[in-house]
Amino acid sequence: MRIIPVASGKGGVGKTLLAANLAIALTRNQRSVTLVDLDLGGSNLHLVLGESLVWGGDAPSGIGSIVSDSSLTLADIGRPTEYDGLTFIPGDGEIPGLANLQAGAKRRIIRRLQEADTDYMILDLGAGTSFNTLDFFLMTSQGLIVTTPTPTSTVNAYLFLKNAVFRILQNVMPRKSAGGQLLESLRNERAGLKGTYIPRLLDELARTDPEQHSRCVAQLSRFQPRLVMNMLEDPKDSEKAGKLRRSCRQYLGLELDHLGIMYRDDLQDVALSSRLPIVRYKPQSVLSQAVFRIADKLISSEAESSDGFETAPADESYQEATLEAESDFAARTDYVEDLLHTGALSTGDLIETVKMQQIELNQMRKENNLLKTKLVRALKQGYTV
Ligand SMILES: Nc1ncnc2c1ncn2[C@@H]1O[C@H](COP(=O)(O)OP(=O)(O)OP(=O)(O)O)[C@@H](O)[C@H]1O
Ligand SMILES: [Mg+2]
């Protein structure tokens, strides 16, 4: 079984969209896929998948029932979907406080997930760096981290990975060991872990606790998270991935692979309101094709690693993502042209859209001028006081 957790530092970056559509994409070739809503406290995967959930009654409901009933397995709560081979495990709207899982409950969920009989298991996680989320993410060494090109989102992706690295170190080193103590003392310092760079920390560990140092290095070298950059508007947006990669390398000693890009696509809103995943609603759309491409890369990287081949070096994965960003951008324009030619979009619609954009632009220009005037006035007043 391949476990594929989908995480992010910042919320609303497209984890659920990716999890649902990737799960469907992976069912091609007769593979079995289990899709689990682990965004405890914020479950909404069923909406993106188009599943209507009826809660209540005696039937085991979602992942929370595993917490309340130790005899249940995943097979008891899995729901077949309209997609062949895809089983869905809902989150739990019903159980208050599920977001704050106790350690024992979390361990039981992890155990049940690991026991499941399926080719792929996709975990849709909540945003942020709670220990629960980190531990679900670390069920495998190659989880997906989703970000958008905005600075807040990439910084949060970096912070998520930094937290994951610290969680690994914390799990590896016994508390009482010299290494464990070093980590603990950093945690208690005022600047805390904020200014701590992993390569430097490892150097110090090599001096103070060589045994734990080599265990940490071994564990960290296995940690190979993969990046998905979503909601691109422009090919230039894909450059933001390079910066994130450099920060991870420099400060975390981590080589982040690039699994692919996805453009923002207005069709997604329509798909959502039609209660259909985009890969079902418009499989030919640029966004759906990007999801299929990510699924293909996952499958081929898995074939390579099981054959004993090295996976594509990180450099190549970034070059490929840059090319994808350029070709998808062109495909988006072609798509509008196609819509025009086939009559799905009339010239009238297009003119209307351009007009609306002109109006919005003018509005923004006016607001801009107003702000400028205010600023100049404030500065002048500042100087005279
Ligand atoms: N590529 C895209 N194009 C257009 N809309 C998108 C795209 N990706 C995501 N969205 C939209 O952005 C919103 C947030 O996406 P989604 O719910 O998947 O994010 P999330 O990371 O799971 O959020 P949360 O952290 O709240 O769980 C949704 O309305 C979704 O339809
Ligand atoms: Mg979500």
Kindly report, residue by residue over 21-46, the tens digit of the pLDDT: 999 999 998 999 999 999 988 889 99
pLDDT for the residue 190: 62
Task: Return the closest-CA partner of residue 124 out of 28, 278, 3, 244.
Answer: 3
Give me ligand 2 centre to Cα 20, in Å: 10
Secondary structure of 327-355 as H, E, C letters: HHHHHHHHHHHHHHHHCCCCHHHHHHHHH
CA dist 259 and 240 (Å) reads: 14
Looking at the CA of residue 17, tell me the nearest atom of ligand 1.
18
Give me ligand 1 centre to Cα 23, in Å: 16
Give the ligand whose atoms come closest to the C-alpha of residue 328: 1
pLDDT for the residue 124: 98
Q: Is the pLDDT of residue 385 over 50?
A: no
Cβ pair 89, 36 in contact under 8 A: yes
Whether 8 lines ligand 1, by a CB cut-off of 6 Å, is yes
pLDDT for the residue 284: 93
Furthest CA-CA distance within the chain: 76
Q: Write the pLDDT tens digit of every residue in 223-260.
A: 999 999 999 999 999 999 999 999 999 999 999 999 99
Looking at the CA of residue 19, tell me the nearest atom of ligand 1.
18
Share of the chain above pLDDT 90, in %: 68
CA dist 84 and 26 (Å) reads: 11
Q: Write the pLDDT tens digit of every residue in 312-358.
A: 568 899 999 999 999 999 998 877 777 777 777 777 877 887 887 78
Whether 127 lines ligand 1, by a CB cut-off of 6 Å, is yes
pLDDT for the residue 61: 77
Q: Write the pLDDT tens digit of every residue in 42-90.
A: 889 999 999 877 665 555 578 988 888 889 999 999 999 999 999 999 9
Q: Is the pLDDT of residue 309 over 70?
A: no
Looking at the CA of residue 42, tell me the nearest atom of ligand 1.
27
Whether 312 lines ligand 1, by a CB cut-off of 6 Å, is no
Give me ligand 2 centre to Cα 348, in Å: 36
Rg (CA), the chain: 24
Give me ligand 1 centre to Cα 130, in Å: 20
124 DSSP β-pair partners:
6, 37
Q: Is the pLDDT of residue 164 over 70?
A: yes
Copy the structure tokens of residue 162: 């930094």
Position 96 confidence tier, pLDDT thresholds 50, 70, 90: low
Q: Is the pLDDT of residue 221 over 60?
A: yes
pLDDT for the residue 59: 56
pLDDT for the residue 376: 87
Position 150 confidence tier, pLDDT thresholds 50, 70, 90: very high
Whether 328 lines ligand 1, by a CB cut-off of 6 Å, is no
Give me ligand 1 centre to Cα 75, in Å: 29
Share of the chain above pLDDT 70, in %: 92
- What are the CB-based long-range contacts (under 8 Å, 24+) for 202-209? 202/253, 205/179, 208/178, 208/179, 208/182, 209/173, 209/177, 209/178, 209/179, 209/182
Looking at the CA of residue 18, tell me the nearest atom of ligand 1.
18
Looking at the CA of residue 272, tell me the nearest atom of ligand 1.
31
Q: Is the pLDDT of residue 158 over 70?
A: yes
Give me ligand 2 centre to Cα 28, in Å: 23
Position 167 confidence tier, pLDDT thresholds 50, 70, 90: very high
Give me ligand 2 centre to Cα 258, in Å: 21
Whether 297 lines ligand 1, by a CB cut-off of 6 Å, is no
Q: Write the pLDDT tens digit of every residue in 366-376.
A: 888 888 888 88
Alpha-carbon distance values, 21 to 75, 243, 278, 337 (Å): 22, 27, 7, 26
> What mean pLDDT, rounded, does the chain reach?
89
Give the ligand whose atoms come closest to the C-alpha of residue 13: 1
Q: Closest residue (by CA) to atom 7 of ligand 1?
A: 264
Phi, psi values for residue 63, rounded to 5°: -60, -25
